[in-house]
């Protein structure tokens, strides 16, 4: 897995647009279609999904739409994405159905500072005493996230390339801003069947219609953040793509084949498909805003 720090040049928009996109699946969805698939309905966001092993020591413990992952180690466990405050009981039930103790969660990580992914951090900390860690640029937004008046705990502030290690397992935080200022993509290796696999847990990838991507000077700093993040993500080798929303890694299609060989989660093509689809939406948003601005 390539995890070294990189200096990524800001690419010209025309060069990004010229990149070929494969005409299949989510690669050709409209921005609105892709957004609906990603977010689902409020009911789907809060609907329990069968917990199960993904690969190695990684387990899926989220809902039908919200991606949450339990990473188990001999010294306790790591939770990636606590999701809504109100759905923490579903997380706890999922962890315990797998035969693990919720109280053994020692570290809580998140994808980005939106309530559907990190609002539950305070409740998980109350129940487990786990240390909550977050990317520096998302700290201000997290501090405003106070479900039921509870302050958002932050026990360690992370920076690009920082490692989080527990019980022999290491996750690397990569800063991939755009969707939020501190949007975080998590990298780790999973050992399974005598082989090592590169796992990528994508943070938020969506580009909303009202995201300010163009101004009189050209591309905004936000647009340049997105472009740098896409370039970084494309430089990372991925065997097992996961994400903050389950459609980002095709959970509904893969779950029926869980336990079969080959492991359906080993799917490098799905990683590229997701990046292609999200970058295409970014390009469409930029083009639309340029047209509206008469540029």
Q: pLDDT for 248-262, tens place per residue?
A: 999 999 999 999 999
Q: What is the DSSP string of 162-210?
A: -EEEETTEEEEEEE--SSSTT-EEEEEEEEETTEEEEEEEE------TT
pLDDT tens figures, 29-53? 999 999 999 999 999 999 999 999 9
List the structure tokens of 16: 């990004």
Confidence band, pLDDT 50/70/90 cuts, at residue 5: very low
The H-or-E segment that residue 36 falls in is helix 31-39
Confidence band, pLDDT 50/70/90 cuts, at residue 247: very high
- Alpha-carbon radius of gyration of the chain: 18
Strands 52-55 and 58-60 turn out to be antiparallel
End-to-end CA distance of the chain: 40
Task: Specify whether the CB–CB gap between 95 and 130 falls below 8 A.
Answer: no
List the structure tokens of 211: 């995201």
CA torsion sign for 88, 93, 99, 102 is positive
Res 211: pLDDT: 95
Residue 262, preceding peptide bond in cis (omega within 30° of 0): yes
C-alpha–C-alpha distance, residues 192 and 43, integer Å = 34
Task: Specify whether the CB–CB gap between 153 and 128 falls below 8 A.
Answer: no
- Over range 186-211, report the average pLDDT: 96
- Out of 3.40.50.970, 3.60.15.10, 3.40.30.10, 3.40.228.10, the CATH code matching 28-292 is 3.60.15.10
Task: Specify whether the CB–CB gap between 202 and 244 falls below 8 A.
Answer: yes
Residue 290, phi then psi, degrees to nearest 5: -65, -45
Q: What is the pTM of this model?
A: 0.90
3 state DSSP class of 69: strand
List the structure tokens of 288: 């639309």
Cβ neighbour number for residue 148 with a 10 Å cutoff: 9
Residue 286 has pLDDT above 70, yes or no: yes
Residue 295 has pLDDT above 70, yes or no: yes
């Amino acid at each position: 897995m390539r995890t070294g720090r990189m200096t990524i040049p800001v690419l010209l928009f025309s060069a990004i647009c010229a990149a070929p996109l494969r005409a299949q699946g989510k690669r050709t969805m409209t921005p609105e279609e892709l957004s609906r698939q990603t977010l689902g309905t409020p009911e789907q966001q809060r609907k329990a999904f069968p917990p199960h092993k993904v690969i190695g020591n990684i387990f899926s413990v989220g809902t039908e739409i919200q991606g949450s992952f339990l990473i188990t180690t001999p010294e306790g466990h790591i939770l990636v994405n606590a999701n809504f405050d109100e759905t923490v009981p579903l997380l706890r039930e999922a962890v315990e159905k797998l035969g693990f103790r919720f109280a053994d969660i020692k570290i809580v990580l998140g994808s980005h500072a939106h309530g559907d992914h990190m609002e539950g951090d305070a409740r998980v900390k109350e129940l487990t005493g786990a240390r909550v860690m977050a990317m520096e640029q998302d700290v201000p937004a997290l501090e405003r996230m106070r479900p039921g008046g509870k302050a958002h705990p932050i026990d360690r502030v992370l920076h690009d390339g920082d490692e989080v290690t527990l019980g022999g397992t290491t996750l690397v935080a990569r800063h991939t801003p755009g969707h939020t200022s501190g949007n975080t993509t998590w990298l780790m290796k999973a050992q399974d069947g005598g082989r090592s696999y590169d796992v990528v847990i994508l943070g938020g990838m969506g580009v909303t219609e009202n995201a300010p991507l163009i101004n009189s000077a050209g591309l905004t700093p936000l647009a340049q953040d997105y472009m740098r993040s896409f370039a970084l993500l494309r430089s990372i080798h991925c065997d097992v793509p996961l994400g903050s929303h389950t459609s980002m890694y095709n959970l509904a299609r893969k779950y029926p084949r869980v336990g079969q060989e080959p492991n359906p989660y080993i799917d490098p093509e799905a990683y590229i498909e997701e990046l292609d689809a999200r970058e295409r939406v970014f390009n469409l948003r930029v083009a639309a805003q340029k047209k509206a601005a008469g540029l």
